[in-house]
Amino acid sequence: MELTELNINVYDYKEFSSHKKIGDGGFGSVFKSEWTNAGLTVALKSLEIGTEKRALMRELQFLQRVAFHPKINHFYGITEDTSGSYNIVLQFANDGNLRDYLDRNHLKLQWDDRFRIAKEIAQGLVFLHDNNIVHRDLHPRNILVHENKMIIADFGLSKLMTSNISSPSNSSSKQDGIPAFMDPQVFKIVDPPYRCTTKSDVYSYGVILWEISSGRKPFSLLKRVQIAIQIYNGEREKPIEGTPPEYVNLYVQCWDDDPSKRPDMKDVYDSLNQLIYKPTDYQVDMKKPLSRLLERAFLEQSLNYYEYNTFSDHIKIESGFSSVYKAKCKSLEATVCLKCIRVDEYSDELIVEEFIEKLLFLQNTDFHSIIKFYGLTKDPSSQYYSMVFQCVDGGNLRDYLMENFSKLQWSEKLKFAIEIAEGLKYLHKNKIAHCGLVRIFINESYLISYFYLIIH
């Protein structure tokens, strides 16, 4: 069966130019290209067509019929490149995918923005489910952002490349996806194997809601197999401080282990609309020791506090459990580093008081081998506090050694060791342990940075 027999739009490869590789997928390479005849920038995704060509062609025809929705990545047709490989022609999203978008914009997003993002994704899913389509591989990298609007992508591609395609509504249990977003039922050994349904997408969507609220990927410190075990055992990520309780309740319902207890996407969409139009002021619970005691320290002016809107031009320079951003601070007239602190809001009051005491000590520290700590700020969207540090542009010790090791004399190496030792001696004298001595930066001399506050 040929493409033309199924009325799939086929374009001459010569219509496309300026190919730039932008990624690799499970089905082939992805190129950003200019579609000359249409005056559009598009994405070309290569496909390896095997023995299931007939079924694949039917699926492509189906994609062409449904990919007109504003929240679905537009499928324009197919083209055959010079090597004989087929490429599907898709809408190009100029803002990348949702995960990268959150990385760049998390600090600037207000709750109204997060509700809008969640709602737009829900709109696309409602449309897919109304057309009996199960995405089966829904995660933030399969949600594209075009001019700040969300569009769902790759809802057919993972299914297209399986060997048991029989119809557009096929819902095979095969799901080689990202474990944190996979329906827990997939990990269970049952006979017959669990077949993914629309409720599997609802589970994935619930995890996406959590990532929208946190700005970081779930279980970021665990490996794939560890994540799968955690999910199988019923573990889920904890709510982010400052998240509206109705929003938390919604994603908790979505990621319920029992598919029958998960809401339909139409119900999820309705719940989001109620949240969007409900005038609620989401404030942190001041009964928690950390917030209450920090606020008191700010009011007493013993601990420096910087309004979050004094920081601009945020650039993420380190990910992981505690993200680090480089930013410009108007009030300090300097470039600084913002390091998010993860502290249990419900810690014992004495522990919190000791923690604040350490912060005050660091704030008043002016030691040549220690990075300067200016004070704290608070992200109004996530409700997390961040430590404001001196920003050092000279790079870290490891990179410096890699570039200059062959040129260094022993006298210079000894000088470096002494400067680092002086900084550690100063910290230990004041009962502060670094607990991970890898943050040493270069700025004319060697500065110890990002140490942890350990209460002795």
**Feature table: binding site for ATP:** 45
**What is the residue-wise DSSP string for 207-242?**
HHHHHHHHSS-TTTTS-HHHHHHHHHTT--PPPPTT
The answer to whether the beta carbons of residues 453 and 359 sit under 8 Å apart is yes
Question: CA–CA separation, 395 vs 447, rounded Å?
Answer: 11
Please name every residue paired with 144 in a beta bridge, in sequence order, or none if there are none.
Answer: 97, 151
Cis? peptide before 168, omega within 30° of 0: no
DSSP-based three-state secondary structure for 331:
coil
Listed in sequence order, the residues at least 6 apart from 360 whose beta carbon sits closer than 8 Å to its beta carbon are 297, 302, 303
CA–CA distances in Å: residue 31 to residues 13, 57, 67, 149: 13, 21, 20, 21
Question: CA–CA separation, 301 vs 386, rounded Å?
Answer: 17
Question: DSSP label at 136?
Answer: S
The answer to whether the beta carbons of residues 339 and 389 sit under 8 Å apart is yes
Q: Which residues are annotated as a binding site?
A: 45
Q: Position of tokens 């001696």?
A: 425
Structure tokens of 358? 């350490």
